[in-house]
Structure formats: C-alpha cells, structure tokens
A = this chain, B = another copy of it.
Amino acid sequence: MSLPSEKVIDAWIRLMRAPQAVLAAMEARVKAAELPPLTWYDALWALERAAPKGLRPADLEREMLLAQYGVSRLLDRLESAGYIERRPVPEDKRGQTIMLTPAGRATRRRIWPVYARAIQETIGSRLTDQEATELTRLLGKLG
C-alpha cells in the first residue's frame, strides 16, 4: 500500500474542513430559528419516508451512520420531545418499531424550509447543477 499523493492529501484536508464549515453555517441558521439540530431532522425525515410502517432502530443505525447507543440516546430525546413513539414488535419481543407522531411530522415540515434555504445559500448558490452532480459522484466513490 503506497502513500497518498499531494493531490490526495489536499483533497483530504478540504474534505475534513469544507463539510464542517457548511454544517456549522447551516446549524447556526436553524438554531437562530429555534429549531432542532440536523440529526433530529435526519431521523424525523427517515421516519416520515418509512411511514406508516415505521423503522427499527437498527434501520436508523444504518441510515444515519450512528452507533447502536447513539440511536438509543437520540430516540430518548425525540421521545421526550413527543416526536416519536416506541412500539413493541409482536414477532420479536427484543425489538421495537419507531413511529413518527403527528407532532414529529409537523416539526419535520417546519424545519425543512429553513434547511432548504440554508442549502441553497451554502451550496446551491456556489455550485452549478453540473458541479453539484459531479461532487455527488466523487463523494459517492468515497462512501
């Protein structure tokens, strides 16, 4: 296994910095609007897409790239905010199904326009659609 080229190292540096800056800018806006963080949005949106079946915690684990305990703690917070419900699953008594509540759905919808504007300002206004597509392709090779 060889060492990385200069160009690869440059890409690494940018890859660690740029997304962090973009995320921080977006979180700042959302927070200024007194809305919950991106992690909450991600979970709520995944659950909304999966409605009405709901998701198992392990599904969220895969979708959100979180550890098992991370999902557990995130669900604790969403549950005490009243945004999700934990339901037992009949076929497997170890497991549970996570369901979005109406309040969770409403909040997800309230957050989206704020994120959408932030995405447009931090990404959309700086890249052409063609560049965005190319960026998606390149990042996809790293996943």
Contact = CB atoms under 8 A, between A and B. Distances in A.
Interface of A: 1-5, 7-12, 14-24, 38, 65, 116-117, 119-127, 129, 131-136, 138-143
A8 B127 contact: yes
Task: State the main secondary structure of chain A at its contact with B.
Answer: helix
18 contacts: A1-B117, A1-B125, A4-B124, A5-B132, A7-B129, A7-B136, A8-B132, A10-B133, A12-B123, A14-B135, A14-B136, A15-B19, A16-B19, A16-B38, A17-B139, A20-B65, A24-B65, A127-B138
Contact of A19 (B2, B7, B19, B123): B19
10 pairs of A and B residues whose beta carbons are closest in the complex: A18-B139, A14-B139, A11-B132, A8-B124, A4-B120, A4-B124, A19-B19, A7-B132, A4-B119, A7-B129
Contact of A7 (B9, B22, B122, B133): B133
Contact of A22 (B117, B132, B134, B142): B142
Nearest to A11: B132
Contacts of A5: 124, 129, 132
Contact of A140 (B18, B19, B123): B18
